[in-house]
Amino acid sequence: DADVTQTPRNRITKTGKRIMLECSQTKGHDRMYWYRQDPGLGLRLIYYSFDVKDINKGEISDGYSVSRQAQAKFSLSLESAIPNQTALYFCATSDSLKAAYEQYFGPGTRLTVT
């Protein structure tokens, strides 16, 4: 069974719609992250959370919001989707007590905004 799961795996939505991407983990890690990946631009950090009450903006947080519902769940929302948010989105986790920088990724969500 996957340690880090993401739902949905694929999503096509229209400009202006609100969409939520969900991430769950069974690794028991305290830290969770959201990245997007675009061809030629690499992985870029959107938001990160070091524990349930600690949420921080990353490099490209504009147009996104997050919610850390529990230690195991971290959701990313696009309030009003736009076409340039079309990308591959990854959730990742790490354990601050063992190896804080070793991040483990979920399978990704491919989002298309038309």
Q: Give the residues lining the site for other proteins (CB under 8 A).
A: 33, 40-43, 45, 48, 50, 58, 88, 90, 99-108
Q: d(Cα 78, Cα 66) in Å, to the nearest integer?
A: 9
Pick 70 or 99: Cβ nearer other proteins = 99
Shortest separation between residue 81's beta carbon and other proteins, angstroms = 21
Pick 51 or 79: Cβ nearer other proteins = 51
Pick 20 or 43: Cβ nearer other proteins = 43
CB neighbourhood size of 80 (10 A): 11
Shortest separation between residue 4's beta carbon and other proteins, angstroms = 9
> Are the beta carbons of 4 and 21 closer than 8 angstroms?
no
Estimate the share of the chain in helix, then strand, then coil, as percent rounded to the nearest 5: 5, 60, 35
Residue 94: name the closest of 105, 103, 83 by CA. 103
Shortest separation between residue 9's beta carbon and other proteins, angstroms = 11
